[in-house]
Amino acid sequence: MAQRRASPPREQRTMAEIEKETHKVQAETIKTISMMINVNVDTLETVGRQIEMTEGDLRKLASAQEDLNESQRLLNQIRRGIFSFGSTAKAKPLPLPNKMDGHDKDFQCKVGGRNRLVRLSTVMYVASESANEFYSSVPYQYVDGCVVKKDMKSVSLFFRGCYAETVGTKPMVIDFKAPALIPEFVRELKDRILQKGAADSTVRDEVRDKMSAGTARGDALFTLAFEDPSKAFVVQEDIVKKSQGIIQDLMRDYKDLETQSKKDGKQGAIEMDQVTDLTLRGLDIISSQLGDIKDDLEQHMKLLIQEEQMMMSLTIQADSLTQQNKELLAKDECCCVIL
């Protein structure tokens, strides 16, 4: 009779069960933090859209104010008897994906001395001037930063050393046909880099080290320099995109630790100091997001108050104009001369 296989020691089986259960709890913790952050991202986007809508309403009210002012001016002219009306070439090109309206940004320029279109989409495309095909595409995680040339007509993009085998070490020089668009290009590029985060763990460690030394995350992830510092401009960051990149990096770090734990035979359970660090980082993100939400809500409230005040002022002015028109039409001696 074949001998029965010996059961593993009770201690080993118990430790494996504990590690498996620990991994489950840790995964749920990280998942919960991720969900909370994503909810805050949605909230920031919603509040941002509400602010844009209110700002749009304010612009419409301002336009209405201008119309009323013009009506007042014309009415005053009527009173005076005058009513007048003012008078990369070696690469085999591939079909360029269709442009996504509201997301993609196109820039006409020269790359390598040839007329090209640079499209910032899910990746950065270097395409034909006609936008029919592209010659190269660069993931945003590969971009380390850029230098704006002193002539303010071109920029040099630099790539991270860890991707040198893929994209090489030479910078990409982009000469813009409309140099005034350089600030917009840099802003859009930086936002996309912040949104994607850092796929390489070494880069993520470098970014955290820079942030520990007092550097803002955006500046730690994307280096912006100017050959002529006197011509430097400030690049505003998209809060929502930055939050999306932060959670991406947090989940990448967790997945790396989880994978290593499984390789070590620990069922995916990671060390307590590691999960504590990830949890604290997640809570820091949530705390920062709540601060951003508070600021956005306060801004929205101020805009709504401003909108209410403008509405009251416009109503009073419109009522006054209506009354003046009635009085003017009621006068038999009213006459106007059309020039």
- Give me the amino acid identity at 192: R
Under a CB-based contact definition with an 8 Å cutoff, are residues 186 and 213 in contact? Answer: no
CA gap 39, 42 in Å, rounded:
5
Q: What pLDDT is stored for residue 88 in this prediction? A: 44
From first to last of the 339 residues of the chain, give the pLDDT tens digit. 445 555 555 445 576 777 777 777 777 777 777 776 666 666 656 666 665 666 566 566 566 666 666 666 555 544 443 333 333 445 578 888 888 888 899 999 999 889 999 999 988 999 999 999 988 888 899 999 999 999 999 999 999 988 888 888 889 999 999 989 999 999 999 999 998 888 888 898 898 899 889 898 889 999 999 999 999 998 888 877 877 788 787 788 888 878 887 888 877 777 777 777 777 777 676 666 666 666 667 776 777 777 777 778 778 877 777 777 776 666 655 454 444
Contacts of 199 (CB under 8 A, 6+ apart): 139, 141, 252
Q: What pTM value is reported for the model?
A: 0.58
Contact 306, 53 (CB under 8 A): no
Residue 118 amino acid letter = V
CB 274 within 8 A of CB 255: no
List residues bridging with 82 in a β-sheet. 337
CA dist 82 and 21 (Å) reads 87
Sheet containing strand 133-138, strands side by side: 94-95, 133-138, 124-128, 114-120, 105-111, 172-176, 154-159, 143-148, 223-226
Q: What is the pLDDT of residue 173?
A: 94
DSSP-based three-state secondary structure for 232: coil
Q: Residue 243 in contact with residue 165, Cβ under 8 Å? A: no
For 29, the token pair is: 């913790």
Please give the span between the terminal C-alpha atoms of the chain, in angstroms, as a whole number.
120
pLDDT value for 104: 92
Cα dist from 203 to 49, 197, 240, 278, whole Å = 33, 10, 21, 17
Determine the pLDDT at residue 73. Answer: 57
Q: Is 15 helix (H, G, I), strand (E, B) or coil?
A: helix
Which phi and psi (to 5°) does residue 177 adopt?
A: -75, -25
